[in-house]
Amino acid sequence: MTAQIAVTEDREACFRLRFDVFVTEQGVPVEEEIDALDDVATHLLATQDGQPIGTARIVFAGDTAKIGRVCVTQAGRGTGLGKALIEKAVEIARQTPGMSRAKLGAQLHALGFYEKLGFTATGPVYDDAGIDHRDMVLDLN
């Protein structure tokens, strides 16, 4: 798959993808999906042939780049797009002055995926929108 991934101001396209994946597919309550952090986040949008197929956001706080709301459409799954989105988010975090680590909340079934990308699980399992998660971190230095 040859997708383009870039920082975007088209938050509506990101929100539509997130709604389809998180709300429709995974049953996340719609009122929990979009939050105040969307206003300050850096949004990434993956497109193929001009069509949105994946998204992620990065929130910078202190020395930490918090990667979240990572999703890929069904058609884009299994193609390496999720990996490419995380790699792009980490690249942006590394290029941002003052960032020393990346952090994300991973659904338990995805722990191995993030471990292959260099993240380490930390802390206990917790519930986020009715789905078990665990924090994961990556040293950016």
Write down the CATH number for the domain with range 4-99.
3.40.630.30
Residue 21 pLDDT more than 70? Answer: yes
User: In the sheet that 4-8 helps form, which strands lie side by side, from edge to edge?
Assistant: 4-8, 42-48, 51-61, 64-72, 101-107, 131-139, 120-128
pLDDT in tens, 93-132: 999 999 999 999 999 999 999 999 999 999 999 999 889 9
In three state form, how does the secondary structure of 103-123 look? EEEEEHHHHHHHHHCCCEEEE
CA distance 36 to 66: 14
Residue 80 has pLDDT above 70, yes or no: yes
* Model confidence at 2: pLDDT above 90: no
pTM: 0.93
- Torsions phi, psi for 133 (to 5 deg): -130, 165
Inter-residue contact 84 to 95 (CB < 8 Å): no
Give Rg (Cα) of the chain. 14
* Residue 5 CA to its chain's centroid (Å): 13
pLDDT value for 129: 86
Average pLDDT of every residue of the chain: 95
| Residue 1 confidence (pLDDT) above 70 | no
Domain locations in the chain as residue ranges: 4-99
Kindly provide the residue ranges of all beta strands, DSSP E only, lying in the chain, ordered along the sequence: 4-8, 42-48, 51-61, 64-72, 101-107, 120-128, 131-139
64 C-beta neighbours (distance < 10 Å), count: 17
